[in-house]
């Protein structure tokens, strides 16, 4: 993400989203009540009254501004849609005051206007800018002739697979077994190299398939082997990926990786709760009380709660008192655990009654 225009006086920030992660960040930076404007397309019908039945109109591109009423980010399609009342646009094509849905596009600038830009929102933009300079990691979990990939993204884990091979068991006599193993490994490698700028590869899984795959990389794909490490897990598939995350392997390799950091923060929280620590608060009421008392050292808030509960002022209050605010993605296991605790929790500086 890039900032291409900023006016603190007018409450304007214009950004240039470049990745799916940027759209995810924007889905939480933009709030109901903001105004957003960008290029959009709409099919315009002929209203002269003499159009034919098969005339579906003409698709036109123009600049449109909306007062936002609804924000929708679809993880699996990567689409960010903003719905609201039109405040700016060509009146000969589309009437002001009517409703429209603006789809935020990659590599297309979008201008966001807020009555006041809270600190957490500015921090979120800067976080997205910094993250765009960093590289991702891929977790590859292998079990027998099946591989599952987990691509580390800021909004959570994006799963690929399973990738299936045609490898017979060791006890079955098959003269083509070694050939099939190589074909399976190459199939997995083809899936990995589709992704650009991968800094680390974690090869994991139960048994010895992971070790054999790593040895094959060292022999045939030394460039990939150099950025790979091996990690043991008790399970294959997505459960194996979750095990790797819980072990903190990714965090050790990419200490600033958002998902690993969030998972670690949730694990710390759950550890404190298990110890019946008095320096923890969770749930909306208890956490808000701790914020008001200035007792919060670290605030954990699920991304969906930010807009839902209009928590901007509370988040600013924590930061103004030198506390840390961490917005947790609802798309990974840690986020779901925080959601079960009411969507908000805090590690405290001191005990409160």
Write down the residue that tokens 């001191």 correspond to.
350
Q: Which of 301, 307, 287, 309 is nearest to 330 (CA)?
A: 301
Q: Is 163 left (phi over 0), alpha (psi -120 to 50) or beta?
A: beta
- 284 and 222 belong to one structural domain: no
In a domain, 129, yes or no: no
Please say which residue of 218, 253, 288 terminates a domain: 253
- 182 and 219 belong to one structural domain: yes
CATH number reported for the structural domain that contains residue 337 in this entry: 3.30.1330.30
- 160 and 143 belong to one structural domain: yes
- 234 and 263 belong to one structural domain: no
In a domain, 122, yes or no: no
- 209 and 269 belong to one structural domain: no
The secondary structure of 299-353 as a DSSP string is: EEEEHHHHHHTT-HHHHHHHHHTT-EEEEEPTTSHHHHHHHHTTSEEEEESS---
- 163 and 205 belong to one structural domain: yes
CA distance 182 to 188: 10
What domain range is 217 assigned to?
A: 136-253
In this prediction, residue 255 carries a pLDDT of 43
Q: Which of 308, 44, 96 is nearest to 344 (CA)?
A: 308
Please say which residue of 116, 151, 183 terminates a domain: 116
In this prediction, residue 169 carries a pLDDT of 63
Structure tokens at 259: 């998902």
- 343 and 274 belong to one structural domain: yes
CA distance 287 to 348: 10
Phi, then psi, of 300 in degrees rounded to 5: -110, 125
Query: pLDDT tens across 128-137, in order?
Result: 887 666 546 8
- 100 and 147 belong to one structural domain: no
Find all residues with CB under 8 Å of 187, minimum gap 6, and list them.
Answer: 163, 165
In a domain, 121, yes or no: no
In a domain, 272, yes or no: yes
Q: How many domains does the chain have?
A: 3
In this prediction, residue 141 carries a pLDDT of 96
- 205 and 240 belong to one structural domain: yes
In this prediction, residue 81 carries a pLDDT of 92
In a domain, 86, yes or no: yes
Beta strand 136-143 pairing with 198-205 = parallel
Structure tokens at 272: 């404190």
Q: Which of 237, 259, 255, 236 is nearest to 246 (CA)?
A: 259
Average pLDDT per consecutive 10 residues, the chain (353 residues; last block may be shorter):
88 88 86 91 63 63 90 76 90 80 89 89 83 72 92 76 78 73 92 81 93 95 93 92 85 61 89 90 93 94 75 84 88 89 93 80
- 248 and 140 belong to one structural domain: yes
* Cα first-last separation, the chain: 43
In this prediction, residue 154 carries a pLDDT of 63
CATH number reported for the structural domain that contains residue 20 in this entry: 2.30.30.870
Find all residues with CB under 8 Å of 237, minimum gap 6, and list them.
Answer: 141, 143, 146, 148, 162
CATH number reported for the structural domain that contains residue 220 in this entry: 3.30.420.60
């Amino acid at each position: 993400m890039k900032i291409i225009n900023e006016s603190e006086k007018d409450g304007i920030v214009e950004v240039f989203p470049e990745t799916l992660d940027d759209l995810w960040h924007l889905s939480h930076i933009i709030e109901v009540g903001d105004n957003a404007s960008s290029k959009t397309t709409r099919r315009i019908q002929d209203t002269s009254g003499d159009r034919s039945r098969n005339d579906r109109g003409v698709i036109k591109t123009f600049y449109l501004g909306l007062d936002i009423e609804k924000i929708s980010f679809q993880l699996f399609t990567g689409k960010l849609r903003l719905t609201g009342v039109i405040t700016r646009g060509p009146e000969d094509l589309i009437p002001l005051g009517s409703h429209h849905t603006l789809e935020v596009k990659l590599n297309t600038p979008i201008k966001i206007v807020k009555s006041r830009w809270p600190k957490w929102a500015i921090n979120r933009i800067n976080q997205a800018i910094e993250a765009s300079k960093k590289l991702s990691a891929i977790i590859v979990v292998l079990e027998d002739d099946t591989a599952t990939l987990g691509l580390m993204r800021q909004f959570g884990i994006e799963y690929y697979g399973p990738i299936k091979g045609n490898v017979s068991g060791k006890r079955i006599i098959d003269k083509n077994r070694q050939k099939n193993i190589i074909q399976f490994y190459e199939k997995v490698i083809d899936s990995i190299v589709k992704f650009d700028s991968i800094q680390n590869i974690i090869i994991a899984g139960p048994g010895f398939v992971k070790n054999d795959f790593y040895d094959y990389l060292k022999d045939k794909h030394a460039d990939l082997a150099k950025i790979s490490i091996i990690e043991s897990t008790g399970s294959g598939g997505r459960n194996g990926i979750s095990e790797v995350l819980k072990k903190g392997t990714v965090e050790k390799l990419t200490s600033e990786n958002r998902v690993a950091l969030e998972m670690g923060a949730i694990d710390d929280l759950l550890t404190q709760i298990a110890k019946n620590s008095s320096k923890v608060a969770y749930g909306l009421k208890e956490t808000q009380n701790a914020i008001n008392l200035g007792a919060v050292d670290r605030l954990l808030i699920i991304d969906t709660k930010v807009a839902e509960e209009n928590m901007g002022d509370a988040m600013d209050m924590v930061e103004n008192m030198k506390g840390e605010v961490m917005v947790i993605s609802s798309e990974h296991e840690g986020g779901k655990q925080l959601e079960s605790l009411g969507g908000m929790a805090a590690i405290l500086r001191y005990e409160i009654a």
